[in-house]
Structure 1
Amino acid sequence: MPSNYPSFRWSVPWLILFLEAAFIVLSYFQYSNTNFSYKDLQDVSHMVIFGFGFFLTFLKRYSFSSTGFNLLIIVLGVQCSILMEDVSVFLTGIQEDRRNSITKAAMSVVAVVISVGAVLGKINPMQSIVMTVVEIIVFCVSRWINVHLLEVSYHVSLMHVHMFGAYFGLAVSTRISEPSPRSEKNASTPKSDLLSMLGTLSLWVFWPSFNSALAYKRNEAIFSTCLALAVSAVTAFALSALTTKDGKFRMTHIHSAALAGGVAVGYAADKIEQPWIAMILGLLASVISILGSFWVKSCFHPTLRIHDASGVHSTFGLPAVLGALARVVFSATEMQTQSPSAAYFDFVLLEVGAFCLTVSIASIAGLITGLILNLRLLKPIPVSKYFEDQMYWEFPRLAVGF
């Protein structure tokens, strides 16, 4: 490694070993649970490891770190999430649904992967690990509040993972210095875009499994998700050609909007009874994703100075808000004929309060985490060293132009 790059020899390995030792010790008190579906776990694992790993490889000089650090935060995050579930049972005495606990842990880590996408290339491995542990703990607390105090179902509480991850990451990014607008490293190449699209295709294929893993009506959830994903992908191509100056397709549009339908429909996939409803939701999600990206650049960045490295707000945040609102509408329509007006009104308030609380907790926790990541102990990297694999990975030689 060149001498002008800082060494993490005495920080990152010891932090990893300390956390792993803590996880091993705490696992001694862990509740044993082998009641889970390996098929569900396998599909979710393909999503978070392979799908998101390649999804974030669009930066031309940050492909090693995108895939490698993605694996690191996932394996640490899953262990932390499983332990947090057991801590919740131990402290409160309230036994959650223990089925598919390891699958739920893998799904919870998606929040961290999405958040890291907002600060991709701007934080070092130490900061990523600290961010992972803090976010998993806060997300588990948020989910516990939703389930036990606001009476949100387990399925919906985990679908908040997209919303939580997006706004947590955006809040962290406000505390991280922006890269130079002229930085040539903050760009993609045809090869990196192709690898990123490979991740998008993998996520697209496995998204129905993610949305249906904890749904009560699994077949309905799978069917609705497939339709929403199909329509959002088709709409992405149409809007991409309409919004570019030369009328050509833009890979970044397909890269993000093709998944928007899966994010939005996840909240109410098991409640949708008519195919056309899922299709409309997928269309709206794709429209919001592409048009929202223009709105974010024109409003969010100049006003709040948020640099969203991989566009998590338009890909996950805005479609998740649409999905949460759709869930409220579908649930309220279903309850309207079954409950008196007072109970109906309370139910709507709880549904709205659940996702408002999730966004609030994510934003506040993200701001605090951003301040923590700036501590000198965690060795924040200078702006001039953003988006560089050579900061962390060994290469046979320093190739010209890499």
Structure 2
Amino acid sequence: MIYVGFGFLMTFLMKYCYGAVGVNWLLAALVAQWSIITQGLFHMKDMIIPLNKKVILEADIMSATVLITFGALLGRASVNQLLFIAIVEALIGSLNLYLIERVIEGSDVGGSMAIHAYGAFFGIAVSGAWVCCRKKKDQPQDDGGHPLEKPSYMTDVTSMIGSAFLFIYWPSFNAALTRTDSDYQRAVVNTYLSLAACSVATFALSAFLRHGKFEMEHIQNSTLAGGVGVGTVCNMHITPGGAIIIGTGAAFVSVFGFAKLKPFLIRKCGLLDTCGVMHLHGFPGVYSGLVSIIAAAVATEEMYGAAGLKSVFEALEPWSRK
């Protein structure tokens, strides 16, 4: 997902294919090492940072945050600027993750809030700062640009390679940090069903908005929004029907964001979001957080069992929250 999925998903622009794959690789490799330290600072014992497979996995997942931000700035930030952003973002992201997991004690096993929403809105914040610092005459007045800053038939095809990789591996991404076998199975099943429902809804909505034709931007991105939308609740008892409903809702959030909101932000605000990360990761991440409120509110010991409820909602131990 990290090196092939994110990398090839961003190759849709002719001018930035090399940078999309190459810089993606560089940033991911850097953050995978740096995050071992930044996240380890919050889990040290006797001034020693532990290192095992779980720590490496968590560091690799943190690199996804930086790559989401990279998607918002693709083609607009230099390599040196991106390296600086990655170092700062991973440090703040580790603090954010610590606050969610240890202070607030929220349940976010798929990282929709801590990884996807954070990475998207961090990228939008950097993009907004960049817009404010530009001269007015340099700000884009529409979504046009240099011919090489547009997609081609071949680059759209290579971008679909990234979409396919992300679609295939998203269930394992959401389920990677689950604590029990039953949680793992629920996370895989719920994520797969949400992705499948989201894909069908995305094709239908794209054809509806384009008068019977599919928009490649929707197919490359919005088909994956179901994985983000279900991420926070994937290990909860949401039922297969619930997963399908969540995936369908994520498609609505993402497709209408790409179709209606993204052009408005470009033309009226001059806000850059090259890959539309706000509509694939940002808003679906917020949507997942809102869904989790409902899923947590209806959770009972009869539904999960005493051990199951504790594994999903750790803040209930020692039953300090009701």
State TM-score, norm by structure 2. Answer: 0.84
- Shift in Å at residue 149 of structure 1? 1.4
Match of 2:89 in 1: 135
Match of 1:266 among 231, 244, 248: 231
Secondary structure, aligned partner of 1:62: helix
Shift of 1:215: 1.8
* Residue 222 of structure 1: aligned partner: 188
Q: Distance in 2 between matches of 1:152 and 1:124?
A: 36
In structure 1, what is the Cα distance between the partners aligned to 2:51 and 2:292? 22
The alignment-based identity, stated in percent, is 32
| 2:153 aligned partner | 190
Distance 1:149 1:87 in 2: 15
Report the CA distance shift for 1:224/1:86 in structure 2 as closer, same or farther (over 3 A).
Answer: same
Q: How many Å separate the matches in 1 of 2:113 and 2:49?
A: 20
The match for 2:203 among 237, 245, 253 is 237
Cα distance, 1:151 vs. partner? 1.5
User: Aligned runs of 1:3-402 on 2, under 5 Å?
Assistant: 47-90=1-44, 100-153=54-107, 155=109, 160-177=114-131, 178-179=139-140, 181=142, 182-184=144-146, 185-216=148-179, 217-245=183-211, 247-297=212-262, 299-334=264-299
Whether the 8 Å CA contact 2:207–2:213 is kept in 1: the answer is yes
One-letter amino acid of the structure 2 residue matched with residue 126 of structure 1: N
Deviation at 1:138, TM superposition (A): 0.4
> Do the aligned partners of 1:224 and 1:272 also contact (CA within 8 Å) in 2?
no
Give the structure 1 partner of residue 319 of structure 2.
none
The alpha carbon displacement at 1:225 in A equals 0.5
C-alpha separation in 2, matches of 1:158 and 1:290: 18
Of 304-313 and 153-162, the range deviating more from structure 2: 153-162
Counterpart amino acid of 1:324? Answer: G
Pick closer, same or farther for the CA change 1:156–1:255 going to 2, 3 Å. closer
Whether the 8 Å contact between 1:289 and 1:315 is mirrored in structure 2 is: yes
SS at match of 2:11: coil
**Partner in structure 2 of residue 19 of structure 1:** none
Q: 2: CA distance between counterparts of 1:334 and 1:265?
A: 16
Name stretches of at least 5 consecutive residues in structure 1 with no aligned partner. 1-46, 339-349, 351-402
The answer for unaligned runs of 5 or more in structure 2 is 132-138, 304-314, 316-322
- The letter of the residue matching 2:103 is L
Larger Rg: 1
Distance 1:81 1:95, change over 3 A: closer
**Structure 1 vs Structure 2 CA RMSD:** 2.6
Relative to structure 1, the CA distance from residue 328 to residue 98 in structure 2 (aligned partners, 3 Å threshold; closer, same or farther) is farther
Structure 2 vs 1, CA of residues 107 and 305 (structure 1 numbering), >3 Å: closer, same or farther?
same
C-alpha deviations, 1:128-169, integer Å up to 9, x for none? 100110100000011111222112247265752000010000
Give distance in 1, aligned partners of 2:151 and 2:265.
22
